[in-house]
Amino acid sequence: MTLSSSLVKSFKFCSISNPKFLKLGDTFKQSRVFSFADLVDYSKVTLDLNPVHFDADCARTAGFQDPVVHGMLIASLFPRIIASHFPGAVYLSQNLQFKQPVYIGEEICGEVEAISMRDFKKKHLVKFSTRCFKQDNILVLDGEAMAILPTLQLEQHVVI
């Protein structure tokens, strides 16, 4: 059993029957709170052991209030959002601008908005505006992503 098949088997989904298709301006959002354990797990995979993520004194010396969540961990919300609505999507590119620090325990809302689309080899090339916000609608991350979608039909699943 592969990792992906074991992850898929751990969730049950039911589809919503009224199909909807992606159009320009459609926006999708998901929220997440990052924990210290998330930072530890991320650093194990990436080997990013920068002490600004773990050591309060080092973080303060760098100008932060506390240790900060890895920026790329925050950006991982974007492919998650896209793939949850378009299974089989292939992420092509992402540009990012980090605007504000994110601290452990803050709720972050990731948002992707379809800003251009064109047919591409029987699939669809879609450019998304990508943003993350924290409390009081403070922009913490801004950018754009490109993805190839196998279909423009939205997969609207409810986790049971």
What pLDDT tens digit does each residue of the chain (160 aa) get?
A: 444 443 433 333 333 445 699 999 999 999 999 999 999 999 999 999 999 999 999 999 999 999 999 999 999 999 999 999 999 999 999 999 999 999 999 999 999 999 999 998 999 999 999 999 999 999 999 999 999 999 999 886 544 3
Which of 45, 144, 127 shows the shortest CA–CA distance to 89? Answer: 127
- DSSP H or E run through 150: none
User: Is 25-159 in CATH node 3.30.70.1450?
Assistant: no
Give the three-state DSSP class for 10.
coil
Query: 86 and 151 in contact (C-beta within 8 Å)?
Result: yes
pLDDT score at 6: 39
- Domain map of the chain by residue range? 25-159
Q: Which residue shows structure tokens 């998330």?
A: 38
